């Protein structure tokens, strides 16, 4: 779907979608349990993939008849499952999950993770618990993404974990069962490897001790995992070089999770917080294009372990006028004159596209560093933002581990740009288009469904001049 965005101003109130990161983990955690309800979930293309995996392992995911209600005892009268084909509303208030009690069954068929890297990595470790072989695959983009370090770690733990093409990429064959043990893994490729091992390790017989062979990047995403595990009654501990417990994942030399634990959230339900990765586009839109004298208000922005909440501080450092009422979970952003800053995204890789868009309208240089790992997402996001912003008139300098946007040399104008089948690239380019002269056409606009299904509706409500080819009311 082509989306046409014409330079325009925005104002009013938008609500942040639920967190994709938390929803993935919550659905799988509920799957590991004997049954739980996930409230305020994000129902999107990616999280449907995780729901399909839970179902493949012998569980079931379906709309809850009442928000916060316990998982149904009988499946006979349940609504249709969330299997990717059933018509489950994107704004479902709650999902009831029948769990597989920590012991996934061997799937009847291949698990299709579609375009969801989080699903593939978390589910790869879950599959290692099954007493038999599981095959995982995905779309062309996902089949190009590295899984090798996780496969090696599972192999070291006694599990058959292979890439069918022998290149560390999907399709994957995983055959357990996983008993637990000690394993070493790099921390600078994907924090999701650590998350996968911790979530699965809690229900093994022996537990898992993870040693990091390189510095952990994206540590806040592991903090999300630790927070959610705690909410499901599971304890996992980051440790330092001396083996002493740490308060968080940053600076950890490894992690320990005891085996034989059970997943069970208090009261049988878990509520997903708002998503700061998605909030970042709304913050940037307000800072770039809020109507003079008006603000963009963002609801659902309560503090959590999400590292991407750093977008508030980054935008403020660039000169944005922002008020964040943390108690009410409301952010107000007013249009301001922005100046370039230096930002290290080692812990917040998903913010790179948003920061790049802000840099394209700021004075001076915005230098984004420590971002080589951002090249291994749905697309090479460093190259994608450099090339597509240049098509819109921005000046950029791309290095292996850095991206600099020369705002003072940039003059954004309408152009046809490629969203690279990547939801974050599409949304960041749409935000940049607000400040461009004329109309920008973004190819692949439908990919926002991965994490923010109502993105263009929300932006239209705020005043973005947007047209979608082939869209229906």
> What number of H helices and E strands is found in the chain?
12, 24
Q: 413: which DSSP letter?
A: B
137-195 per-position pLDDT tens digit: 999 999 999 999 999 999 999 999 999 999 999 999 999 999 999 999 999 988 999 99
Residues 211, 286, single domain; the answer is no
Residues 380, 454, single domain; the answer is yes
Residues 292, 191, single domain; the answer is no
From CA 428, how far away is CA 439, in angstroms rounded?
Answer: 15
Domain count, the chain: 2
pLDDT at 471: 57
- Domain membership of residue 87 (yes or no) is yes
Residues 13, 27, single domain; the answer is no
Q: 411 an active-site residue?
A: no
pLDDT at 72: 44
Q: Which of 206, 228, 260 is the last residue of a domain?
A: 260
Residues 10, 105, single domain; the answer is no
Q: Which of 229, 260, 291 is the last residue of a domain?
A: 260
Residues 319, 433, single domain; the answer is yes
- To the nearest 10 degrees (0 to 180), the angle between helices 20-32 and 276-289 is 170
Q: Which of 347, 350, 418, 422 is catalytic?
A: 350
Residues contacting residue 11 through CB under 8 Å, at least 6 positions apart = 290, 291, 294, 295, 296, 462, 463
Span 68-79, average pLDDT: 44
Q: 418: which DSSP letter?
A: E
Residues 45, 118, single domain; the answer is yes
Q: Using an 8 Å Cβ cutoff, are 10 and 296 in contact? A: yes
Residues 105, 158, single domain; the answer is yes
From CA 205, how far away is CA 202, in angstroms rounded?
Answer: 8
Percent with pLDDT over 70 in the chain: 93
Binding-site residue ranges for 3-phosphoshikimate: 20-21, 25, 190-192, 218, 350, 377
pLDDT at 412: 98
- Domain membership of residue 267 (yes or no) is no
233-281 per-position pLDDT tens digit: 999 999 999 999 999 999 999 999 999 999 999 999 999 999 999 999 9
Task: Determine how many CB atoms are found less than 10 A away from the CB of residue 165.
Answer: 11
Binding-site residue ranges: 20-21, 25, 117, 145, 190-192, 218, 350, 377, 381, 424
From CA 200, how far away is CA 245, in angstroms rounded?
Answer: 20
Instruction: Tokens for 266, please give them.
Output: 């208090």
Owning domain of residue 33: 20-260
Distance of CA 268 to the CA centre of its chain: 24
Span 110-123, average pLDDT: 96
Span 331-359, average pLDDT: 96
Q: What is the pTM of this model?
A: 0.81
Residues 173, 187, single domain; the answer is yes
Q: In the structure, what pLDDT confidence band is assigned to residue 84 with cuts at 50, 70 and 90?
A: very low
Q: In the structure, what pLDDT confidence band is assigned to residue 391 with cuts at 50, 70 and 90?
A: very high
Q: 17: which DSSP letter?
A: P
- Domain membership of residue 203 (yes or no) is yes
Residues 242, 309, single domain; the answer is no
Residues 108, 209, single domain; the answer is yes
């Amino acid at each position: 779907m082509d989306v046409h965005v014409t330079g325009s101003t925005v104002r009013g109130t938008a609500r942040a979608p639920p967190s994709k990161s938390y929803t993935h983990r919550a659905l799988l955690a509920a799957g590991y349990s004997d049954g739980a309800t996930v409230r305020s979930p994000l129902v999107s293309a990616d999280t449907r993939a995780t729901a399909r995996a839970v179902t493949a392992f012998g569980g079931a995911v379906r709309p809850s008849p009442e928000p916060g209600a316990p998982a149904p005892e009988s499946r006979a009268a349940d609504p249709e499952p969330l299997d990717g084909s059933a018509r489950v509303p994107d704004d479902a208030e709650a999902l009831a999950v029948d769990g597989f009690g920590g012991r996934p069954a061997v799937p009847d068929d291949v698990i299709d993770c579609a375009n969801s890297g989080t699903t593939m990595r978390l589910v790869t470790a879950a599959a290692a618990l099954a007493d038999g072989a599981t095959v995982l695959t995905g779309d062309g983009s996902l089949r190009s993404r590295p899984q090798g370090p996780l496969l090696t770690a599972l192999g070291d733990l006694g599990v058959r974990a292979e890439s069918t093409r022998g290149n560390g990429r999907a399709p994957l064959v995983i055959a357990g069962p996983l008993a637990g043990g000690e394993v070493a893994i790099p921390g600078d490729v994907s924090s999701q490897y650590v998350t996968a091992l911790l979530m699965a390790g809690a229900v093994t017989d022996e537990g898992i001790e993870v040693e990091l062979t390189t510095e952990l990047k994206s540590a806040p995403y592991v903090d999300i995992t630790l927070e959610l595990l705690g909410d499901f009654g599971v304890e996992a501990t980051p440790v330092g070089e001396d083996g002493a417990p740490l308060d968080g994942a940053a600076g950890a030399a490894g992690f320990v999770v005891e085996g034989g634990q059970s997943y069970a959230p208090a009261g049988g339900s878990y509520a997903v917080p708002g998503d700061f990765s998605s909030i970042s586009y709304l913050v940037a839109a307000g800072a770039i294009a809020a109507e003079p004298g008006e603000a963009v208000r963002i609801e659902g922005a309560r503090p959590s372990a999400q590292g991407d909440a750093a977008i508030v501080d980054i935008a403020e450092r660039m000169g944005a006028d922002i008020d964040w009422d943390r108690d009410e979970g409301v952010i107000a952003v007013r249009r301001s004159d922005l100046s370039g800053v230096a930002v290290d995204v080692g812990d917040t890789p998903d913010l790179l596209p948003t920061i790049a868009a802000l840099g394209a309208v700021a004075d001076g240089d915005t230098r984004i560093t420590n971002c080589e790992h951002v090249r291994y997402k749905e697309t090479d996001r460093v190259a994608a933002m450099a090339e597509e912003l240049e098509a819109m008139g921005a000046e950029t300098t791309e290095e292996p581990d850095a991206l600099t946007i020369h705002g003072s040399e940039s003059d954004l104008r309408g152009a046809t740009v490629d969203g690279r089948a990547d939801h974050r690239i599409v949304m960041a380019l749409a935000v940049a288009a607000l400040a461009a002269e004329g109309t920008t056409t973004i190819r692949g606009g439908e990919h926002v469904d991965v994490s923010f299904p109502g993105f263009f509706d929300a932006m239209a409500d705020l005043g973005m001049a947007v047209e979608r080819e082939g869209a229906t009311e």
